[in-house]
Amino acid sequence: MKIKVFDNEEDLYNYAAKIFINEVKTNPNTHLGLATGSTPIKLYQLLVEDYKKNKTDYSNVKTFNLDEYAGLDKTHAQSYYTFMHNQLFNHINIKKENINIPNGKANNLNKEAETYGKLLIKEGINLQLLGIGTNGHIAFNEPGSPLDGKCSLVDLTKNTIKDNSRFFKNINEVPKKAISVGIGDILKSKKIVLIAVGKHKAEAIKKTVNVKPTTKCPASALNNHKETLILLDKDAASLL
Ligand code: GLP
C-alpha cells in the first residue's frame, strides 16, 4: 500500500479526481467500483465539473457500488441508489444499464447478494474507490468480517448505525442490515483508492496502515493488496 498525505482537502480531492478522470480517459470501457458516505462527495463534484468542462466520456463506463441498505426502496432519500444518482449519475453521460447497485428491496436479500457478488466476479473492477468507517469498516464489512469474504447480507454495528444516523430523521430509521460486497471481492480490484479526511478517522487509519491484516480492522486487509493508494488529509494522518 502507498500513502499520500495532503496539507488540505482541496489538494487531496483534486489528486483523487485526476486518478479517476485519467482512468476513464485511458480506458473508456473501464469498470469503476464506487462508494457512498460523505467522503466521496467532493470527488464526485469534481468529476461532474470535469464532465461539464471537458466532456469526459462515461458512455461505455460501467459502475458497481459497494453496498446498499437492506429494506430501503431505491426511491428512499437515503438509499445509496438515490445518493449516487444525486451526486454523480444524473450529471454525467453514463448509461442506466451500466450502473450496478444491489437492490435493498429484493424479496430474497441473500439471493440478491449472491447474484450481485457473482456479477462482480464476472465483470471485475479496474479502479475501486473506498471510504472508511470510524471502526475501520470498508463497504459495510464491520470488524469481525472475514478478510476473504464475499458479497452478502450483513448486520451493521451500533457504532455504524450511530455514525450514519446523521443522514436520517432519527436513529431508529437507520437500517440494521445491508447488502455489502465482501473484503475478498474488494481485494480482487486491480487498483484501490481509499480516502479518509478528518480527525475522527485518525484512529481507524492508524489501525489500517502498515499493520498485519486483522479482522479487528477490516481496512487492514488492504495491506495484502499491492495497488492500494491511501489518500489522507493531515488530520486523518495525525496518529501515524
Ligand atoms: C458507510 C459506507 C462506507 C463508507 C462509510 C464512511 O458506512 N457503507 O462505504 O466508507 O460509511 O462514511 P463517511 O465517508 O460518511 O465517513
* Mean predicted confidence (pLDDT) in 125-143: 97
Number of C-beta neighbours around residue 63 at 10 A: 21
pLDDT, tens digit (0-9, with 9 covering 90-100), for 42-65: 999 999 999 999 999 999 999 999
Question: Which residue from 12, 34, 36 has its CB within 8 A of the most atoms of ligand 1, so it is best to mutate?
Answer: 36
Q: Where are the beta strands (DSSP E) in the chain?
A: 2-6, 31-34, 62-65, 67-69, 99-100, 127-130, 152-155, 177-180, 191-196, 228-233
Task: Report, as residue numbers or ranges, the catalytic residues.
Answer: 67, 135, 137, 142
Percent of the chain with pLDDT over 90: 99
Would the CB of 103 count as within 6 Å of ligand 1? no
At position 104, the amino acid (one-letter code) is G
* Paired strand residues for 22: none
Cα 223 to ligand 1 centroid, rounded to whole Å: 20
The confidence band for 153, taking pLDDT boundaries of 50, 70 and 90, is very high
Would the CB of 133 count as within 6 Å of ligand 1? yes
Q: In what order do the strands lie in the sheet with 152-155?
A: 67-69, 177-180, 152-155
Atom of ligand 1 nearest to the CA of 37: 15
Query: Do the beta carbons of residue 227 and residue 192 sit within 8 Å?
Result: yes
Residue 62: predicted pLDDT = 98
* Mean predicted confidence (pLDDT) in 132-152: 97
The confidence band for 68, taking pLDDT boundaries of 50, 70 and 90, is very high
Cα 38 to ligand 1 centroid, rounded to whole Å: 7
Residue 133: predicted pLDDT = 95
The Cα–Cα gap between 56 and 29 comes to 12
* Lookup result for grid cell 478522470: 21
Query: Do the beta carbons of residue 105 and residue 72 sit within 8 Å?
Result: yes
Would the CB of 68 count as within 6 Å of ligand 1? no
Question: Which residue from 12, 39, 41 has its CB within 8 A of the most atoms of ligand 1, so it is best to mutate?
Answer: 39
Question: Which residue from 132, 135, 154 has its CB within 8 A of the most atoms of ligand 1, so it is best to mutate?
Answer: 132
Cα 192 to ligand 1 centroid, rounded to whole Å: 16
Residue 114: predicted pLDDT = 98
* Paired strand residues for 31: 62
Nearest CA to 64 among 100, 24, 118, 92? 100
Cα 228 to ligand 1 centroid, rounded to whole Å: 18
pLDDT, tens digit (0-9, with 9 covering 90-100), for 15-43: 999 999 999 999 999 999 999 999 999 99
Closest-CA residue, ligand 1 atom 5, reads 133
Would the CB of 164 count as within 6 Å of ligand 1? yes
Would the CB of 135 count as within 6 Å of ligand 1? no
